[in-house]
Structure 1
Amino acid sequence: MVTNIAAYHFTPLDQPEALVADLRERAGSLALRGTVLVAPEGVNMFLAGDADAIEAFLAPMREDARFEGLRVKYSESLAQPFARLKVKLKREIISFRREGTTPLHARAPDVKPATVARWLQQGHDDDGRRVVMLDTRNDQEVAYGTFAGALTLPIARFTDLPAALEPHREALKDATVVSFCTGGIRCEKAALWMRDDGMDNVLQLDGGILGYFEEVGGQGYEGRCFVFDERVALDPALQPLVDAKVQAA
């Protein structure tokens, strides 16, 4: 059995090049495969390998004050879902290209998966406002599944989101908007940008879809969640579907 992890952490890195070299050497020596992105704003990781090797890789990071509070999502697969190891230096760990959207000093309010599940079941939030689930992922990802009734946007990449959201802003004013993505990283930036741009009714789903699956299962979710490796998509039990294919609409 192969252990898979997904993790990101926003933290200022003065010498990201040094961290790239360190993580590449450590992951390589432990025979891990996957992708690690490092930028001055933090790290974003998708790795797979032996369970003990994964923990050995994470141990130094857990002891590093820069990564205090690092949250890791785990899942398992029968086969290694990555062909090779890639550790790269980037300008951003998730590209959004909007100034002031890196949550190093402040982040948009979040809402826990159990609370979202309750809101979806009762049809409104705790103040009686309607709830709109806002999918910040692209067309390809949405095609595999999303929350029932979610607002999805015709975007090919994350940087398209601001323009695609513009026609919907007026209609969202009376709602509690819960933005979500695969693991939470995109909403860290998107929700912060939306609130700074006047949408003070926006929350972010803590842990994203994968965190939701992990804590409450698939309640209110239709289909599966696209992931960025050879497993293609995970069901609410975090199990890969080898024959997963996008069904024609």
Structure 2
Amino acid sequence: MTPRIRILATASAISAAATAGYFTARHSLRAELSTVRHAATHDPLTGICNRAGLTAAADTLIRTAHTAGRPVAVVLVDLVGFKKVNDTHGHDAGDHILATVAHRLTGIAGPAGIAARLGGDEFAVITTGPATRRDDAEPWLADWLTHIHTRLTTPVTYHARPLAVGATLGAALADPGHPATAWLHRADLAMYAARAHRRTTAVFTNTTNTPATTTADRPRDLARPTSPLAAAPTTRRAA
């Protein structure tokens, strides 16, 4: 091999190595950025969206469903008796319940919906319903909440022992007229109205701006302190 050919071969090898290094570094950077983005929008314990992930995706979901003529339900879930589980059975048992509830909510949300853990023992679901008319949507949502409550409150098995799961649900029907945070606020008002009336679920009705409570009383939660917001008039309009 002549010196010139040797130099050219060396230069080619260096160039190839540099190109390979560039693509490797770019791939590594993309993977790292993807990991960071996922961590910023997902709950590390349950793997579902966190509040940031929910609000980032919710507006598009609501707008797309509204265009297709499908109602969108925004549901807040507050677990009942969760602190007692932690105190009695330990935090590992509590984490198992949180992960199980997250799994159940993911199934309830379906592939087109979003399930999220907002923090502590509070969760949210945003998903679409089968109704195509507004007057069909509110009855559907009230019935659907009862179904969700039944699924969520099925006892969770931990170390061969059934652990009770309680929940309060508040919901609102959403449309693109307001951001997702406004509908979450209305669902929050409905949830506190349900708690104030010792109920399991409540729907924030847009026609009257009054949460209408549904389903039976929850005796396990009669002693639970209510939020000051629960004592406010239920006709309070959401921001």
Normalising by structure 1, we get a TM-score of 0.29
- Greater helix content: 2
Normalising by structure 2, we get a TM-score of 0.30
Larger radius of gyration: 2
